[in-house]
Structure 1
Amino acid sequence: MAFVSAAGYQPVYNPSIPYRHPIFGGLRAGMSVYLQGMVPNHVKRFHVNFACGGDIAFHFNPRWDGKDRVVFNTSQGGRWGSEENKKDGFPFHKGRPFELVFFVNVGGYQVNVNGQAFYHYNHRIPLERVDSLQVEGDVTVQSLSVVGGSGGGPMMTPGFPAAGMMPQPGYPPVNLPAMGGPTYNPPVPYRANIPGGVTPKRTFVIRGFMPNGSQRFHINFKTMNGEVAFHFNVRLNERTVVRNSKLGGSWGAEERGITNNPFVPGQYFDISIRSGNGRYKVFVNGQPFCDFGHRFQALQMINTLEIEGDVVLSLVQF
């Protein structure tokens, strides 16, 4: 089973509900919990609990009961505390996917839904006591991960109050080298420097969704000389994903073969690109998708990640 660790994360894909799993080492400021899911048409309610033994430090509970709202609370010693709720701007819709991020801060939990700041809930139980995560009710979870909070200081993100700081840089699964902290909801076109280049065993995580009416988007790994070492191009209008390289000013032979196309307008996706000694391995929504052999061998010279097209980015981490 995939684990969730205070020192890092390994995404859990399509878990059965109810889902319960420990957060080894406990929760601490700078961590974040990232969840992609779908609300079924028959929904009445679901909840996410940050639990500690028999207590619940933070209960996040969307409800559809004629007064659509989200309820927030804490349970200690078997008793619920004073309930907080939010009705305006209810972001969950029947039959539609959602993206939920809990940023864990010193003062409380900053909750973002679909890329927008939604609510801040102050700690009533010390966050260090939280030892497990629970998801129950009428919900389908596509992916869930905990991003650990080690490294440098927190970063501010547009639209967040001071209490809603970004998590600190985190770490991936123990069998991979350390990655930098995630960037949430970056604008498109997206361009970022890759310190040290695309070294073997490095992993790039890209999460987002294609809005309705989207046609295509691409991910480029480019060299300092402008060569495109790896071009990953999702083309909904052609019902395929094209892989290629552009070296010496010319595109090479396209690779188009796929067994299935997991990219659907209006739904979230999770892409993981791992650089190996001889190839890139691409996973989509936790499943192997394709391999692409290195055509540009000097991996340390690949220093730019570029994402463009009809896409809304939720998270980029490498």
Structure 2
Amino acid sequence: MWVTVVALLPLFLVVKAHSCHGGGKDGIATLKDHSCPANAYKYGSSGFVKSAISGSGSPERLPLGLFDNRSTYMFRVENGLSPGQTVHISGKTSKEFRPFAINFLLGKPVLNEGNYAVGTVANHIKNTIAFQLRVEKRRIITNFLMDGKVQEGKGSIKGYLIPLKPGQQFDIRIKLNLYAFEIYLNGRLTDDMYHVTRHCAITYINVDGDVELTDLHLDNESNKTILKTPFEAAIPGGHLNIGDRVTVYGRLTNNWFNINFVDAKNNRVFHFNPRKDWKAIILNTERNQQFNFQKEENKPGFPFDSKKEFKIEFVNEKAGIAIYIDGVYLTTYAHRVNGKTDYKKLTMFQDIEVHRVEICKA
């Protein structure tokens, strides 16, 4: 669903005086440009390149105040935001499905101290909030706040029903274009909201409420290009180690595609092959350039859609390659080769549009 909020346009005059600058050095974690908890390698024109911003583990909460039993996630945006960037937020709703909010702040965070009732998203932030996305009662609600108060009739939206359930994993992406925030929930465009200030004036991102975050990072590729396929690249360090994670963002373009880890003899020793016509995902290992179809593993279901971007994660564990699709665990494919040394290259081809590839080194 696409919603245009024309009432927000006059508000630009209210907040445009905010200058463009990054967050200060205040001990708050810098927003990463990757999803890795440690070293990250992102694929570009010259192959995999190590990111200059190292990870610091999973997102951590900050206490709201000395006498407060609540906490909040807070991240500093180094140089403000800019058009074309995308903020990725992954996590899990509470079992009670209590509300939570994502806030884009202007200026250094100023927190309200005090005790707040469980199950509410109180106005903990005194700052002007240039954009708030609130998930409440299975609805997405967007707002603009000044001095902790919602500006009714000036950007607030009553909300739209969303397919989220209690205790469910989610993937929210907020894309900044020239005029609006585009909101994607689990790969589908759900809502949009016009900007009320310059992107570069947004210096902190806060996630508040009863929610568990697993990742929050910023995609800095303002002019994202589709990577060339067939895709082939050497794994940084010569091979995957135990604990390494490979993440592929892309889109199905027709019927089927495959993603492979290749050994020194160009055998696809890990073969991941989703097929729309079979409504299944095929897993296998190639030896001497031939598959043993009697040992083929067939996972029923086809969780891909040509109208939305997917995120596939492959984690090299001791027992095998664990596979996650849009944050949901699929299976673990047991190693049929040496999992410590034999996965040397990554290849992809057929009906796949590759947007981004990332390798997290353990």
- TM-score when normalising by structure 1: 0.57
Query: What is the identity, as a one-letter code, of the residue corresponding to 1:193?
Result: P
User: Alignment partner for residue 215 of structure 2, among 136, 143, 168?
Assistant: 143
Identity %: 18
Pair 1:9-2:51 in alignment: no
Structure 1's 63 and 250: CA in aligned 2 closer, same or farther, altered over 3 A? closer
Check whether the contact 1:45–1:61 (CA below 8 A) recurs between aligned residues. yes
Query: What is the identity, as a one-letter code, of the residue corresponding to 2:231?
Result: I
The CA distance in 1 between the partners of 2:261 and 2:349, in whole Å, is 5
What are the equivalent positions in structure 2 for 1:203-282 lying under 5 Å apart?
A: 204-206=246-248, 219-221=259-261, 227-231=267-271, 244-249=285-290, 271=313
**C-alpha displacement at 1:74, in angstroms?**
1.6
User: Alignment partner for residue 132 of structure 1, among 204, 224, 239?
Assistant: 204
Structure 1's 78 and 110: CA in aligned 2 closer, same or farther, altered over 3 A? same
Check whether the contact 1:219–1:306 (CA below 8 A) recurs between aligned residues. no
1:285-316: CA deviation from partner (whole Å, max 9, x where unpaired): 8xxx998245487x5xx6435799xxxx9985
Partner of 2:234, secondary structure, is coil
User: Alignment partner for residue 190 of structure 2, among 118, 123, 133?
Assistant: 118
Residue equivalent to 1:34 = 88
Residue equivalent to 1:193 = 230
Residue equivalent to 1:63 = 136
**C-alpha displacement at 1:269, in angstroms?**
8.2
Residue equivalent to 1:102 = 174
The CA distance in 2 between the partners of 1:230 and 1:42, in whole Å, is 39
Check whether the contact 2:269–2:284 (CA below 8 A) recurs between aligned residues. no
User: Alignment partner for residue 292 of structure 1, among 339, 345, 355?
Assistant: 339
Larger Rg: 2
Structure 1's 95 and 273: CA in aligned 2 closer, same or farther, altered over 3 A? closer
The CA distance in 2 between the partners of 1:146 and 1:27, in whole Å, is 9
Structure 1's 304 and 106: CA in aligned 2 closer, same or farther, altered over 3 A? same
Check whether the contact 1:21–1:134 (CA below 8 A) recurs between aligned residues. yes
Check whether the contact 2:258–2:348 (CA below 8 A) recurs between aligned residues. no
Partner of 2:162, secondary structure, is coil
Residue equivalent to 1:22 = 76
Check whether the contact 1:39–1:140 (CA below 8 A) recurs between aligned residues. yes
Residue equivalent to 2:357 = 317
Check whether the contact 1:220–1:232 (CA below 8 A) recurs between aligned residues. yes
What are the equivalent positions in structure 2 for 1:145-184 lying under 5 Å apart?
A: 145-150=217-222, 153=223, 168=224
Partner of 1:84, secondary structure, is coil
Query: What is the identity, as a one-letter code, of the residue corresponding to 1:271?
Result: E
Query: What is the identity, as a one-letter code, of the residue corresponding to 2:205?
Result: L
Partner of 2:157, secondary structure, is strand
Query: What is the identity, as a one-letter code, of the residue corresponding to 1:228?
Result: R
Query: What is the identity, as a one-letter code, of the residue corresponding to 2:145?
Result: S
Check whether the contact 2:140–2:161 (CA below 8 A) recurs between aligned residues. no
The CA distance in 2 between the partners of 1:282 and 1:316, in whole Å, is 20
- Please tell me the root mean square deviation across aligned C-alpha atoms, in Å: 4.6
The CA distance in 2 between the partners of 1:243 and 1:51, in whole Å, is 48
The CA distance in 2 between the partners of 1:52 and 1:85, in whole Å, is 21
